[in-house]
């Protein structure tokens, strides 16, 4: 077993170390705080708020409970980061923006935060993000952008919107992260940084206490170091139990040829085909299928889709009073919602309903879908300074993950590259409500694709 004090321990590793007395919550938290404070690291751009005193008090409380045999869960005392989109009692939720800086502090935890706290996780701090979660790239002009660990000196994007969530885990500043996913915001940064990111069926985890982007598409999920880590966190967030193991042999996977395989760069294409070959050799049955409904997604979203319409509803008062303080690229996307009529929105609801019914019928005979999480590797931050390139790449990065949000499904991104290669992700996805099935598929595939 890996030492729990290495940079890549899983939640199971850490729980075992805590149970055996080889680590304490305080030692884990102090190590994370040291990494956050390291002037040579990414802590400054990864975290927007850390209350060192409160965090150490949480750790000491968990150590005391454990020593008394009263730890609330095996994971009590493990540091986890919280995306700045969630309410934490006594703290201001800024959603990666300066617009909300003067809002009152939250009076209670968001529902998902409360569930993590009840399990004994130490809330190490609030992580940076794309402003109001409205980008898949992770850039933030207000607080800076944490750099991807891959070729860090060159300054590649972390992916978004849960940018700080991912970097907090890659850099050992936390051992898991709470994020949100409206069009890929857990899966994209996971794919870009070598982590696992999970988007549950939206109704699986309560969204109370999280600043909304799109009430139709938002979901709450974890970013962590393994499928098992994400399954553990998801089970806590959903008041469920993690699924048991299952064999890969005989599983049936569908690879959609439509839409999601377009415009892949050479690294993504090579990694994807290599993984399909490995899965097939290990006994999985893989079939390439046409999903013509995917080709209709651009038309469904032509007027801005749910994200524009529903975010504008939430933001319009703030835009009137503080529009100049928004990231202009975020403001542009939100304001598209102002041009949608009630009839447009009703048509959008009907189009989504038809899309879900048709796709679910088409994929029902398969255990899961397989396709690249993103069609590109992480671009350099400097390459995205112009608006045209920013919006082009943002749309490309969001394209594949957003398919599953529109489907109201569940999806997971697992690392899909070898050491020394650019980071890419393999996405497995199922229809809504099949979260346990998806975790079993992902757990069976995880080690095969990187064997």
pLDDT in tens, 155-187: 999 999 999 999 999 999 999 999 999 999 999
pLDDT score for 450 = 83
Per the annotation, the verdict on 135 as an active-site residue is: no
Does 96 fall in a domain? yes
Distance of CA 435 to the CA centre of its chain: 15
- The token pair that represents 336 in the structure block: 């598209």
> How far, CA to CA in Å, does 358 sit from each of 293, 294, 346, 412, 428?
7, 10, 19, 22, 19
What CATH number did the domain enclosing 103 receive? 3.90.1300.10
The answer to whether the CB of 371 falls within 8 A of the CB of 260 is yes
Whether residue 330 is contained in a domain is answered as no
- Residue 325 DSSP symbol: G
Helix (H, G, I), strand (E, B) or coil at 80: strand
Sequence-distant (≥ 6) Cβ neighbours of residue 206 within 8 angstroms: 111, 112, 220
Q: What is the pLDDT of residues 187-216, one digit of tens each?
A: 999 999 999 999 999 999 999 999 999 999
Assess if residue 297 is contained within a domain.
no
Task: Pick the more confident residue, 302 or 244.
Answer: 302
- Kindly report, residue by residue over 260-309, the tens digit of the pLDDT: 999 999 999 999 999 999 999 999 999 999 999 999 999 999 999 999 99
What are the pLDDT digits (tens) for 125-159?
A: 999 999 999 999 999 999 999 999 999 999 999 99
The pLDDT confidence band at residue 7, using thresholds 50, 70 and 90, is low
Q: In whole angstroms, what is the distance from residue 44 CA to residue 153 CA?
A: 16
Is 166 part of any domain?
Answer: yes
Active-site choice (130, 161, 168, 216): 161
Query: Token pair of 299, please?
Result: 């038309």
Whether 362 is covered by a domain: the verdict is no
**Which of 185, 214, 219, 275 is the catalytic position?**
185
pLDDT at 346 over 90: yes
- Pairing between strand 177-180 and 196-199? unpaired
**Domain membership flag for residue 271:** no
Nearest to 427 by CA among 406, 404, 448: 404
Arithmetic mean of pLDDT over the chain: 97
- Cis omega before residue 153 (within 30°)? no
- In the chain, what's the furthest Cα-to-Cα distance? 61
Q: How do 79-83 and 177-180 pair as beta strands?
A: parallel
Would 177 be classed as within a structural domain? yes
Closest CA to 416 of 316, 272, 312: 272
| Number of domains observed in the structure of the chain | 1
* Catalytic residue check, 161: yes
Structure confidence at residue 3 (pLDDT)? 31
Would you say residue 430 lies in a domain?
no
Annotated active-site residue 83? The verdict is yes
Task: Specify the pLDDT at position 451.
Answer: 75
- Measured distance between the N- and C-terminal CA atoms of the chain, rounded to whole angstroms: 18
Residue % of the chain over a pLDDT of 90: 97
pLDDT of res. 5 = 35
- Of 83, 112, 135, 219, which residue is the catalytic one? 83
DSSP 122-136: EEEEEEP-SGGG--S
- Each as own residue / partner, the long-range contacts of residues 387-395 (CB below 8 Å, 24 or more positions apart, any chain) are 387/329, 390/137, 390/139, 390/329, 391/329, 393/137, 394/135, 394/136, 394/137
Q: Which domain holds residue 188?
A: 11-238
387, pLDDT greater than 60:
yes
């Amino acid at each position: 077993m890996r030492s729990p004090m290495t940079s890549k321990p899983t939640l199971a590793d850490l729980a075992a170390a805590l149970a055996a007395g080889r680590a304490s919550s305080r030692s884990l938290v102090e190590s994370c705080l040291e990494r956050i404070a390291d002037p040579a690291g990414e802590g400054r751009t990864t975290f927007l708020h850390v209350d060192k005193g409160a965090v150490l008090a949480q750790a000491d409380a968990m150590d005391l409970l454990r020593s008394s045999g009263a730890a609330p869960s095996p994971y009590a005392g493990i540091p986890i980061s919280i995306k700045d989109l969630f309410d934490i009692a006594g703290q201001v939720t800024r959603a990666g923006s300066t617009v909300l800086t003067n809002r009152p502090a939250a009076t209670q935890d968001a529902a998902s935060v409360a569930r993590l706290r009840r399990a004994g996780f130490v809330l190490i701090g609030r992580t940076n993000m794309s402003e109001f979660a409205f980008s898949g790239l992770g850039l933030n002009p207000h607080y800076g952008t944490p750099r991807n660990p891959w070729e860090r000196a060159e300054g590649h994007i972390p992916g978004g919107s849960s940018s700080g969530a991912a970097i907090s885990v890659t850099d050992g500043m936390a051992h898991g992260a709470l994020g949100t996913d409206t069009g890929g915001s857990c899966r994209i940064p996971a794919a870009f940084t070598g982590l696992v990111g999970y988007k549950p069926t939206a109704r699986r985890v309560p969204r109370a206490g999280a600043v909304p982007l799109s009430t139709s598409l938002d979901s709450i999920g974890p970013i962590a170091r393994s499928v098992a880590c994400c399954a553990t966190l998801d089970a806590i967030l959903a008041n469920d139990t993690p699924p048991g193991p299952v064999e890969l042999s005989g599983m049936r996977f569908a690879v959609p040829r439509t839409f999601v395989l377009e415009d892949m760069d050479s690294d993504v294409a090579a990694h994807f085909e290599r993984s399909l070959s490995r899965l097939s050799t290990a006994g999985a049955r893989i079939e390439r299928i046409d999903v013509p409904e995917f080709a209709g997604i651009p038309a469904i979203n032509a007027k801005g889709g749910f994200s524009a319409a529903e975010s504008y509803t939430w933001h319009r008062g703030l835009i009137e009073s503080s529009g100049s303080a928004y990231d202009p690229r975020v403001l542009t996307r939100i304001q598209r919602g102002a041009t949608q009529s009630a009839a447009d929105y009703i048509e959008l609801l009907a189009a989504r309903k038809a899309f879900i019914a048709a796709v679910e019928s088409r994929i029902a005979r398969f255990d899961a879908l397989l396709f690249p999480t993103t069609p590109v590797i992480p671009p350099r931050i400097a390459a995205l300074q112009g608006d045209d390139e920013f919006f082009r790449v943002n749309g490309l990065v969001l394209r594949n993950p957003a398919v599953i949000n529109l489907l109201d499904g569940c999806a997971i991104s697992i690392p899909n590259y070898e050491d020394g290669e650019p980071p890419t992700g393999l996405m497995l996805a199922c229809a809504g409500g099949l979260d346990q099935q998806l975790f079993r598929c992902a757990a069976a595939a995880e080690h095969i694709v990187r064997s």
